Chains A and B, each alone.
Chain A
């Protein structure tokens, strides 16, 4: 039972209060809303601030694009919460934004209220700019340099924080202030990572500075260092079976998630991709396929575990009384490839409905047709015209039959 935006009761024979809307779920499954720990949708003219090795001062929360159609598409895949991360161009990237997919609301209204702050870190090829044509002089150029960036900035941030603490006059520096929050345990790191050596490096560095690396994301070699991650207290947010897109991921294996899970690491599967995010339930199912993770545990890879990694498991991630009414009604077993989201609720509000979607598509067609006819009349009346060029890119699929924007 969902009431006033919260889960009011869970059970077999509960009765709603008078006036409650009854939704017949016969033959269907209900799960918590899916949480995508790593995505880059819904950001405007920004993902990377790639100009400097440390850009802790930039905030994805400043540039949320609430009109990105991917928000709606992902609701159709049962996603209700997503962490929009800065890209991986620099060792210390920008601050992340955690949003609820409240399609139709404004950027500020989409933000997950009260969620703790996160920041993106990155290791490997991208940050040392091995793959950039104009890498030139920007530091760092090697994996060794990456470590020195952290060493340098955290040393500076510690001095900054200590000066603040002593009440000394300091120039407020939003970059150092953000890093100081990490040192104080008030902000958490999601770190783009592939290779074991660097993963160990960052954990050791964190130990030296007295903080914890909250989440390693991608972490395709996590299976090699899972015990160390568990000891450090780092979570792993990975892909089920996405690899071989560059050399440094060559040692990825599909059992990675299962192995980290066995070793006691909190494991999530994320999308990092606007398309994959529509079917994260199927990604979770792959943990059953590769490594034999129990079905309920596998589902947690895309629900409760990412909620834990994001420190919002008191609010979302499971169907528990008092938690936010972020709920998905599936047409089938949620780990089945046949399952489709019938309805997706965020805070008890239905933001996606499979049947209503059909009607909306028809309405879009009707409106397009009406405006096009009006345009044609103006054109016939001698109005100036411009070539019909589309805007931006669209996602196409091999089964695309009708792809109206």
Chain B
């Protein structure tokens, strides 16, 4: 290796530290309305961390803060050891080519085909890659994300909701990121499609060695693929751990969340009970 290329080669190193994402004392607010106060979270390398919380508790806001779209009022966010809070949105290019983001609605560029959508980040960050290779990369990424081959030349408006999500996933994976953000990936998918998406996420994580930050309401997803679950309530992360660990804490919201009828169904693979009382009584029968 020549001496000239050494600093460049630094960029090619994968992140070796323990925690790709470190959030310390985060405070975010919209005017008077405080969303997070003193929120801290450490994500381990190579895990799928599920973030849960009631509607409006700021799960998506947390994700937007981590990826630099939302400026926090206070606190410190580090991704791959680089501070996101201090760098402006345009300065941290070195970090942003190492993560992929799947937005809730897919957020595909509507005037480009699926294949072109996947090519956009590659063209943006690595313009020296030949167009032919770029097309090939886009093609196998699309197929890796579970879309049929003929979807490549389709426009987003011609895709179903589930296919849009997969196309969004393909774009998020375009640069072989080390870190993947998924915002409610299975929302709006049918159970079969959702299960397939979960499996895909798990497989991709294992093949590509990804760290996945996953926001979800889907209890099945939590049980199936998440290594740890972080719970947002009272403007902060109240607990992080595996689901059995969370069940041992006696926070009321966590209890209702996992021991509610849907939570039990997800943990046992049984249909939810019809009895409306079952959401209130908390039998310890769901130790998963």
Physical interaction between A and B: no
Residues on B lying within 8 angstroms of A by beta carbon are: none
Residues on A lying within 8 angstroms of B by beta carbon are: none
